[in-house]
Amino acid sequence: MPPGAQVWPDPFWWRGLGDAQLTALVEQAQAENRDLAIAAARVMRAEAQSTIQRSALFPEISGGPNYQAGGCRGQSCLQYTASKDFGLQFSASYQLDFWGLARDNLRAANEQLKAARFAQQSVALTVTASVAGQYLTVLSLRRRIAIADEYIDAINSILDVIKLRVKAGAASHLDLTQEQAQIEGVQAQLPSLETLEKQALYSLAVLLGRPPEGFDVTPGELDAVLAPPIGAGLPSDLLLRRPDIAQAEANLASAHANLDAARAAFLPQVSLTGSGGFLSSAIGTLLQVSNSGYTYGAGLLQTIFAGGKLIGEKHLAEATQKEYIAAYQSAALNAYADVEISLIEVANTGRAEGHLRSLITAAQEAFEISQLQYRQGVADLLTVLQAQQTLFSAEDQLAQTVLANRLAFIHLYEALGGGWVEKPEERTQLAVAVSIEPQYADPQ
């Protein structure tokens, strides 16, 4: 780890890259990105589901007024007395959560709410990294296009010299055609570079929630984008700093709660009911105590036959739990691998960048010498072609390597959680430990 390097990224790590335009783009994406809007809506949906499940822990009370009137016409009504009845009735029902079914369902819903929040935070991290990556890709491709244009200018400069030498009889027509072929080869690369630049630019626009048409960014230099050093932290801490791992943990805890609920569904459910109200033939005396009445009772409900529904739901919950155990383990393993791969990419692309800069310095000098010698008739055109090919290929490769290095840093920030830390009150590791334990239990 370099001296002074942080163990974990800053929550606003993109500011450390030293590009004000990138900071503005990230802030815009955080406000307008459609994937983040989808994730936020899923959190709202999970909150509503948690509220629904919580309602099962409280009694349900309903009530309302009623009015009944009777009467008839004709000879058959001589002994009939018309009547009017006014009523006001309330009823309540409550299912005792004796076996914890409602509490298990609520726990599952709360863990799903956590998972939705963690997913939202994971999407936010991915969006931020993608914005930074696409922005740097645009800068890199523009640099490569500029290098190609510089290459074309250099070839044209040599081409002018060749034309003069051919006219004077000091060079053959072969030299002229070789240099013309060289310039055509470089020009043939430009359309693909320009296409890639537009693709990256339009992808960036979509990340910002904007239409691609007319979107652009201010020209900038990729070399000016900083790469602050950072080192990997302790592997155990990584489990507390990756929102995708926290999401996998919450999903597993929810699956365990669903399994508990499926088991509780086999047991009898106890319900309490009661009703009361007022009844009177005159609305003015409706609320008098003498007109009141009530009923109450209790019931025990046990499913006798459901065609295998309950056992099927239990098996479904067990299979889901096993799925989320594997998903959690996979998320943890991938997190460790992400960090290690990113560290290797940062180190190796940094080394390559240093060698390429040294190569360019030497190639620039060799190209200038070959040009001078060719003008003096000391060197042939092949020497010049080789020198210019080496120089501009190295410059193009450097632009790609600098991009790879900066992207490697971004991947490392992302792999380390981007400065995210799981809140202690939202941690689900204890629930995960309980859920995983039966998998390794003695089958006997």
**Residue 111 belongs to a domain with what CATH number?**
1.20.1600.10
Whether 61 maps to a domain, the answer reads no
Instruction: Confirm whether 72 is domain-assigned.
Output: no
Total domains, the chain: 1
Least Cα distance to 362 among 334, 387, 325, 398 occurs for 387
Angle between helix 381-415 and helix 101-168 axes, rounded to 10 deg: 170
* 145 has pLDDT over 70: yes
Work out the angle at residue 21's Cα, subtended by the Cα atoms of residues 211 and 37, and round it to the nearest 5 degrees: 45
- Using the predicted structure, report yes or no on whether residue 170 has a pLDDT greater than 80: no
Q: Give me the pLDDT at residue 395, please.
A: 95
Q: What is the pLDDT of residue 227?
A: 77
Please tell me the predicted confidence (pLDDT) of residue 437. Answer: 43
Residue 180, in any domain of the structure: yes
Domain assignment present for residue 63? The answer is no
The residue that leads in pLDDT, 288 or 131, is 131
| Mean pLDDT, the chain, whole residue set | 83
Q: What pLDDT is attached to residue 440?
A: 36
pLDDT band for position 434 (cuts 50, 70, 90): very low
Q: Residue 99 pLDDT > 90, yes or no?
A: no
Q: How many residues can be counted in the chain?
A: 444
**What residue numbers bound the domain in which 252 lies?**
13-56+85-437
Q: What is the mean pLDDT of residues 145-159?
A: 90
Q: Of 21-30, 167-176, 184-193, where does mean pLDDT reach its minimum?
A: 167-176
Q: Tell which wins on pLDDT, 434 or 401.
A: 401
Q: Is the pLDDT of residue 190 over 90?
A: yes
Task: Tell me the range of 65-69, 75-79, 428-432 where mean pLDDT is highest.
Answer: 65-69
Starting at the earlier edge strand, list the strands of the sheet with 83-96: 60-70, 83-96, 269-280, 292-301
Cα–Cα nearest to 317, from 245, 254, 250, 248:
254
Whether 164 is covered by a domain: the verdict is yes
Q: How confident is the model at residue 194 (pLDDT cuts 50, 70, 90)?
A: very high
The CA–CA distances, whole Å, from 312 to 258, 286, 319, 322, 326 equal: 13, 52, 10, 15, 21
**Burial label, 89 (beta-carbon count in 10 A; 0-12, 13-18, 19+):** middle
* Residue written as token pair 């390794």: 440
pLDDT of residue 201: 96
The mean pLDDT value for 17-22 works out to 92
Is the pLDDT confidence value at 400 over 90? yes
User: What is the per-residue pLDDT for 277?
Assistant: 64
How much is the pLDDT for 80? 58
What pLDDT shows up at residue 59? 85
> Do residues 391 and 363 make contact, with C-beta atoms less than 8 angstroms apart?
yes
Q: What is the mean pLDDT of residues 168-194?
A: 86
pLDDT tens digits, 253-306: 888 888 888 888 777 777 777 776 666 666 666 566 666 666 767 777 777 766
Residue 252 has pLDDT above 50, yes or no: yes
Distance, in Å, from the CA atom of 32 to the CA atom of 212, rounded to the nearest integer, reads 14
Closest by CA to 205, choosing from 19, 32, 400, 18, is 32
CA 426 vs. chain centroid, Å, equals: 19
Compute the average pLDDT of residues 42-67: 87
User: Rounded to an integer, what distance in angstroms lies between the CA atom of residue 138 and that of residue 136?
Assistant: 5
User: Which is higher by pLDDT, 279 or 411?
Assistant: 411
Instruction: Report pLDDT for 435.
Output: 43
Q: Tell me, yes or no, whether 314 lies in a domain.
A: yes
Name the band, by pLDDT with cuts 50, 70 and 90, for residue 407.
very high
Q: What is the pLDDT, as a whole number, of residue 74? A: 63
Cβ atoms of residues 133 and 407 within 8 Å: yes
For 199-242, how does the pLDDT look when each residue is reduced to its tens digit (9 = 90+)?
999 999 999 999 999 999 998 888 888 877 766 555 667 888 89
d(CA 290, CA 292): 6
Asked if residue 443 has pLDDT above 90, the reply is: no
Domain assignment of residue 71, yes or no = no
**Bigger pLDDT: 381 or 195?**
195
Q: Which of 151-165, 237-251, 426-440 has the lowest mean pLDDT?
A: 426-440
Dihedral Cα 209, 215, 221, 222, nearest 10 deg: 40
**Residue 397 above 50 pLDDT?**
yes
- DSSP output for 218-281: ----GGGS----B----HHHHTTS-HHHHHHHHHHHHHHHHHHHHHHTTS-EEEEEEEEEEEES
Q: Which of 29-33, 82-86, 278-282 has the lowest mean pLDDT?
A: 278-282
Quick check: is 175 in a domain?
A: yes
Structure-model confidence comparison of residues 277 and 164, the more confident one: 164
271 bridge partner residues: 95, 299
SS3 state of residue 341: helix
353-375 pLDDT per residue, tens: 999 999 999 999 999 999 888 88
Confidence of residue 149 (pLDDT cuts 50, 70, 90): very high
